[in-house]
């Protein structure tokens, strides 16, 4: 099992001092170590009659459950200029160790 350093991003509440409200903002939450597992699946399609081709690949990301206490579907991971968008996540256990397993996708344009 090889763990890679990745960035965890998500929506956090920030105080808007000018308006006195709480606003949502997407920002880096923290660095984590995760195991990146390739699904070797994907798809290719043309975007709206243009010459732009969109390639989507899927991956699994396994993270120790203590690293992310409250995962959310709007979170995403970053590693080496790639953005891994969360499709779904579920708890996973192996030899008594507790993990989150995230199914993710990368959109390449």
pLDDT at 109: 57
Torsion sign over Cα 97, 104, 74, 8: positive
Give the C-alpha separation, 104 to 85, whole Å. 5
The residue whose two tokens read 């990146």 is 36
Convert the pLDDT of each residue in 46-88 to its tens digit.
Answer: 767 777 677 788 899 999 999 999 999 999 999 988 999 999 9
Q: Kindly list the structural domains of the chain, giving each domain's residue range(s) and its CATH number in brackets, ordered by start.
A: 4-108 (2.40.10)
Q: Which two tokens stand for residue 5?
A: 């350093």
Convert the pLDDT of each residue in 9-56 to its tens digit.
Answer: 999 888 888 888 888 889 999 999 999 987 777 777 776 777 767 778
């Amino acid at each position: 099992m090889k763990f890679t350093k990745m960035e965890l991003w998500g929506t956090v509440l920030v105080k808007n001092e000018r308006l006195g409200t709480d606003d949502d903002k997407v920002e880096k939450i923290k660095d984590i170590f995760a195991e990146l597992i390739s699904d070797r699946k994907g798809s290719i399609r043309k975007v709206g009659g243009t010459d732009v081709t969109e390639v989507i690949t899927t991956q699994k990301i396994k993270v120790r459950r203590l690293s992310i206490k409250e995962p959310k579907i709007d979170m995403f991971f970053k590693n080496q200029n790639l953005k891994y968008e969360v499709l779904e996540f579920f708890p996973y256990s192996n030899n008594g160790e507790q993990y989150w397993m995230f199914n993710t996708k990368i959109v390449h344009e």
